[in-house]
Amino acid sequence: MKFDTLKGMKDTYFDDMAKYEYIINTAKEIFSKYSYDRVMTPILEETSLFKRAVGDETDVVSKEMYTFIDKGDRSVTLRPEGTAGVVRAYLNAGLHKSNPNVKWYYYGPMYRYEAPQKGRYREFHQVGIESLGIRTPLIDAEIIKMACEFLEKLGINDLVVEVNSLGNIDSRFRYIEELKKYLKVNFDGLSNDSKIRSDKNPLRVLDSKDENDQKILLNAPMLHDFFDEESNKYFEDLKYYLEKFEINYVVNQKLVRGLDYYSDTVFEVKSSKLGAQSTVLAGGRYDRLTEILADVKIPGIGFAAGIERLSLLIDDELIKKENKKIFVIYFEETKDYFINTLNTLRKHNINVEFEYAPKGFGTQMKKANKIDAKYVLILGEDEMKNNKLSIKNFEDGSQEILTIDEVIERIK
């Protein structure tokens, strides 16, 4: 019998697994430098959490959720994103009263029933951060800086950072009312998707790819014209700090994001190397979210990156360099000497690969090549007699005879 994975889901091993680990380790390194601690929340949550937080009318909630009734007759959903659960955890812990300023990062699987394509899966993984309790353009810019630093550390270049502001909660509300009126007047000319969105999720009409929609939108009211003084100042200050942090960015007034909880700052980092699914990392400010969920007012901002999309952009060579392998060649006659050496290397936390049933020198050398080893240690009879090891560096071709202590020093 043979079972396939479900459509849009995949197994991860070898090089892809190494990339996943590298992404997570890099995230931990960079995010903890900015004082973010790890948080873990359940993969399964009450369906109503996502309906309320992400918005009933968004594509994610209305079309893409994996929702089912559990044995206790409750409607539950595999999380389509991480922010709702993290904010729920913050509120459940009462942190808004005891310790409102929290900086958290997380990673794990997310589920969206979308049409799979390159960079788009039904089970995918995100690594993200959320910062609760602070509303200032300084932290918004700092977060974008942290995102850029993370991507740079992964060796991913040629990225475009797009930023926009949706205006504060009041401005956004006034604009949506005006936009709805305009879309109503032009309703007949809109695409079917935009017709559906025009009343329930009108901001999403702005990033429609449909040509006719685009023509209609040319005369639509402009989001930024509805900004009040505070919204304008917030956005100007954001740009000031982005420059202070030396971030290369472009303003994209059409950037509105697909989830309902955003206001003020929104941003996306895009790569031209990913085809249609070009957004690698995305996020924004969500000052209304705690109010929607629990009637308390706590500002928040965060982002998430798709780990599979990051993997597609990471250079394979970088991963090989990070995982320098060491292969040990030995023979039946030197087996005991090999096991003693193995014990010593492992005591020093050095990981080596070897054959359990060693064949000839040539066969073992081939294996070392196959795994792309950086060093090969050779334990022949001569080496055993002299209590030494031959070490061959595959990168520069050099070979030396050293004591075990010298080998450990060299490798480390």
Please give the residue ranges that form the binding site for ligand HAM (CB under 6 A).
81-83, 112, 114, 119-121, 124, 126, 128, 130, 258-259, 279-284, 286, 302-306, 308-309
107/286 with CB nearer ligand HAM: 286
Q: Please give the Cα distance from 269 to 183 (Å, whole number).
A: 29
Minimum CB–partner distance for residue 319 and ligand HAM (Å): 19
Minimum CB–partner distance for residue 118 and ligand HAM (Å): 10
DSSP state of 304: E
DSSP 171-199: HHHHHHHHHHHHHHHTGGGS-HHHHHHHH
Minimum CB–partner distance for residue 78 and ligand HAM (Å): 12
Minimum CB–partner distance for residue 290 and ligand HAM (Å): 13
126/231 with CB nearer ligand HAM: 126
Altogether, the residues listed in the chain come to a count of 412
86/216 with CB nearer ligand HAM: 86
Minimum CB–partner distance for residue 406 and ligand HAM (Å): 46
272/398 with CB nearer ligand HAM: 272
CB burial class (10 A; 0-12, 13-18, 19+) of residue 399? Answer: exposed
Minimum CB–partner distance for residue 13 and ligand HAM (Å): 18
- Measured from the Cβ of residue 258, the count of other Cβ atoms closer than 10 Å reads 17
65/407 with CB nearer ligand HAM: 65
Q: Please give the Cα distance from 109 to 186 (Å, whole number).
A: 41
81/287 with CB nearer ligand HAM: 81
Minimum CB–partner distance for residue 131 and ligand HAM (Å): 9
Minimum CB–partner distance for residue 281 and ligand HAM (Å): 6
β-partners of residue 295 are none
167/283 with CB nearer ligand HAM: 283
- Measured from the Cβ of residue 293, the count of other Cβ atoms closer than 10 Å reads 18
> Under 8 Å CB-to-CB from 99, ≥6 apart: which residues?
none
Minimum CB–partner distance for residue 275 and ligand HAM (Å): 13
Minimum CB–partner distance for residue 293 and ligand HAM (Å): 14
Angle among Cα 225, 204, 242 to the nearest 5 degrees reads 60
Task: Please answer whether residues 389 and 371 qualify as being in contact, where contact means their C-beta atoms are separated by less than 8 angstroms.
Answer: no
For the sheet containing 102-111, what is the strand order? 37-38, 102-111, 123-132, 300-306, 279-285, 265-271, 159-165, 250-251
304/314 with CB nearer ligand HAM: 304
User: Strand runs (DSSP E) across 229-347, as ranges?
Assistant: 250-251, 265-271, 279-285, 300-306, 325-330
130/140 with CB nearer ligand HAM: 130
What is the distance, to the nearest Å, from the Cα of residue 393 to the centroid of all Cα atoms in its chain? 35
Location of structure tokens 């091993």:
13
280/391 with CB nearer ligand HAM: 280
Cα–Cα nearest to 134, from 170, 92, 102: 102
